[in-house]
Structure 1
């Protein structure tokens, strides 16, 4: 089994609430961040010790990720991480920009201030994850922050579309950014975005979210 790269997946020991969903979330984040590499084959028994759980929930989580197209079954070996082309990543990012930029800008005038303030702990978690170099937690917190922000627009279908696009994306450049200590600066854009939203600064929001999404195929994308 081709498995030279050992992903820095955080242990799940002691995390009881929504346990099955948590295993899926952590593995999905590891796939998006590139901790689990495209083309590599991983088995549930080999991954389980790294998460601090048994092989069964890992296998169940991988089967869920098969449905999402993130991995595919390799009989008698495990699961192969599917490859995503540069063209596909560009298309996902383009669609996200068409949706997320105007929706986020609109929140500058429509979102309840208390709802926006409630997102600050998630924004801080993104910064903390970046500081300690935990890419899996970074991606997971980033996903929850942006989906939580978009949910304030009141359109559940829009949130699901963006969730699907984000889960299909890959951010292989995060490792290099983390190693060069530049990831924290990108992480702090989440706080900058919240500050602009709380100030009802539409142009400021537009500038930050446009710059932030630009990293998806710029800073965060490089192999």
Structure 2
């Protein structure tokens, strides 16, 4: 289920690479290993919320998202995505996530959000509480109560648990399952960026599966 849309229609770009080989049993203790990240992310997400409120008023009065604030919030989303990918939101790498807000191009999970030169004053008034309600309903099914990669009972967690069991017995992560899990996480991150006022492009109700964005895959053919 992919689209032929071009890069201009994809301000939020999520890419991932399935690492191999993966440890059969490391996933059993990753919940301990990510505790330092969860502590830091707890405070970063408090700052993320404060920054988003400041950005709301900046957009309302100037139609601009202050670049420094935008870069900080992108960094928080990137950090969260790397931790999620390493832990129980994907389990698709054993490379420990860096403590970094930066881009980290060598890490197998990446997130890029194009900086918008202008944002709508009207949309900012209804975006995060009204327009995203249908998306929140869908995401509730995807993620349940998952935060920073912890198990939650959502669809993503169930699929990742199944992948972990397969990995334990075969030493391999099912590729089709990886594509589906990555697609679901891509949907989550698109909605997160929209709800955080970082783009006016409404997230599509579409599951773009696989580790590359659809237009990237088309260019590689």
Q: Assess same fold via TM > 0.5.
A: no
TM-score where L is the length of structure 1 = 0.37
TM-score where L is the length of structure 2 = 0.37
